Structure 1
Amino acid sequence: MIKVLFFARLREELGIDGLQWPWQAGMTLAELLSQLQGQGEPWASCLAQPNLLTAVNQAIVDSQELLADGDEVAFFPPVTGG
């Protein structure tokens, strides 16, 4: 299983702070994201944001990151400040 976490605006829009997702051998972060978006709305639009940040085991990674069973994946919007 993969532990999936949602932060900030994503958590609010999805109405959930996290979930457990079945791991599959050879799964990349891009594939996980596609599966989550495949659940329909609001998942599809919420997770299709162009500047969506992703972390695996608390390290920022790109979409081709290979996932392992037991990984923690976090999605969060870009951080802005002033």
Structure 2
Amino acid sequence: MDVLYFAWVRERIGLPRETVETQAETVADLVAELIAREERYAAAFADLSALRVAVDQELVGFDTSLAGAREVAFFPPMTGG
């Protein structure tokens, strides 16, 4: 599965994207797996209320199933302007 990181999430993790092998059933499970990898992921996902997530380019919640998903993207909330 491709995992994409944008804005300060990308800066904290140090990668714009990566391909991960996962057993995660939900987005929250995927986040838990990533946090367990190393400290930079823990820093990026420390406050999930400050993040939005999209699965296959559709905005979803962290409890969303990853069944059949090809791509997950994490980014801060967007502001108008």
The TM tier, using the shorter chain, reads: 0.7 to 0.9
Partner residue, 1:54: 53
Aligned to 1:28: 26
Alignment coverage as a number of residue pairs: 80
Measure how far apart 1:68 and its partner are.
2.7
Q: Report deviation, 1:40.
A: 2.4
Q: CA deviation at 1:70?
A: 5.0
Question: Is residue 5–residue 18 contact of structure 1 (8 Å, CA) maintained in 2?
Answer: yes
Q: Runs in 1 of length 4+ with deviation above 3 angstroms?
A: none
Q: How far did residue 81 of structure 1 move? A: 4.3
Is this contact kept in 2: 1:23–1:68, CA < 8 A? no
> Which residue in the other structure is 1:76 paired with?
75
What TM-score does the superposition give when structure 1 sets the normalisation length?
Answer: 0.84
Residue identity opposite 2:45 in structure 1: L
Paired residues of 2:26 and 2:63 also in contact (CA < 8 A): yes
Pairs within 5 Å for 1:4-15:
4-15=3-14
Structure 1, gaps ≥5 residues long: none
Q: Give unmatched runs, 5+ long, in structure 2.
A: none
CA distance in 2 between counterparts of 1:48 and 1:71 reads 24
**RMSD of aligned Cα (Å):** 1.7
Identity, in percent, stands at: 40
